Amino acid sequence: MQIKVLGSGAGGGLPQWNCAGRNSAGVREGVAGLRARTQSSLAVSANGKDWVLLNATPDLRQQINETPELHPDPKGPVRNSPIKAVVLTNGDVDHVAGLLNLREGQPFTIYGSERVLGVLAENSIFNVLNPEIVDRVPMKLGEAFAVEGPNGPVGLEVEGFAVPGKVALYLEDESAGEDFGTQEGDTIGLKVTDTSSGDHFFYVPGCAQVDDALKERLKGAPLVFFDGTLFTNDEMLRQGMLQKTGERMGHMNMSGPTGTLAAFEDLDVARKVFIHINNSNPVLREDSEERAAVTKAGWDVAFDGMKLEL
Ligand code: MLT
Ligand code: MN
């Protein structure tokens, strides 16, 4: 199974269009050891021919152009694409807006929880994806299924499972109490398995807490991509970017007793990769002490174009 990181940044990417913060400005200035990042998404293939996208970001057009595996076959029909399916983990803008980039009459399948497909159904702009050729298939949480493109199974199985999180920002209901109307299925993690070899990995780009159920699921995993939005809960406030903590945004931070480094300490995960990294996060700088701390704890920091094979 081949895995390509199409994008490793959180919403806004790096540099973010309206941000003059240290990292966004640093990328524009060409600071060494600080890479530009598009918004978080993976492409996965079991056979090197058919590819499945995990989320579709507003940067998808650029990501496809920069990824030869996702280009149309020049020997095929004039309109063709190796992208056979998209699996969604939530309804956030950075994870669904890229569906609009796939609107040129090409058949593929969209998988999402009932909640997330409900969001697409309520937003008529997504009707540019003609339902006659772009199937929308609800995922039953906790049940693995074979991913199918327009020509049948692609050799991958996916299981979606609920993780602690928050409803998409633009759907928050202030009147619904402190969880803003969040329901099961608003944020899910994915287990992706190569059907023939049984190799598998987990993709959890948004997560508010590693609870016991999630620990149990991830224990001993060969590979986990995990929410790396922030290093500290209040870093966006401290940098004057946004009056919100990670906790308020539904994202864990890396450091401290309730952070990801601590939560994964005893999970025995063979390869741990942070993804969905916000432009405020100091680990983006390869020479930072925060980067040294996550490296010491056994984590990789994903970058655009990173390739992994299982
Ligand atoms: C998030 O990850 O919290 C969202 O991408 C935020 C947003 O929609 O801007
Ligand atoms: Mn996001």
**Cβ count near 294 (within 10 Å):** 22
What distance in angstroms lies between residue 168's CA and the mean position of ligand 1's atoms? 7
Measured by CA distance, the residue closest to atom 5 of ligand 1 is 11
For residue 19, what are its two tokens?
């941000």
Which portions of the chain are predicted below pLDDT 50?
none
Predicted local confidence at residue 82, as pLDDT: 98
Q: Is the CB of 249 inside a 6 Å radius of any atom of ligand 1?
A: yes
Whether residue 94 has its Cβ less than 6 Å from ligand 1: yes
Return the pLDDT at 245.
98
What is the greatest pairwise CA distance in the chain? 56
HSE at residue 235, side-chain half, CA atoms within 13 A, is 24
> Given this model, what pLDDT does residue 304 score?
98
- Cis check for the bond before 15: say yes or no (omega within 30 of 0): yes
DSSP code, position 139: P
Q: Tell which one of 8, 249, 274, 276 to mutate to probe ligand 1, the residue whose CB is within 8 A of the most ligand atoms.
A: 249
pLDDT at residue 71, rounded to an integer? 98
pLDDT of 16 reads 98
For residue 283, what are the CA distances in angstroms to 232, 260, 304?
A: 11, 14, 15
| Amino acid at site 256 | G
pLDDT of residue 184: 95
Q: Which atom of ligand 1 is nearest to the CA of 206?
A: 2
0.95 exceeded by the pTM?
yes
Give the ligand whose atoms come closest to the C-alpha of residue 171: 1
| pLDDT of 213 | 98
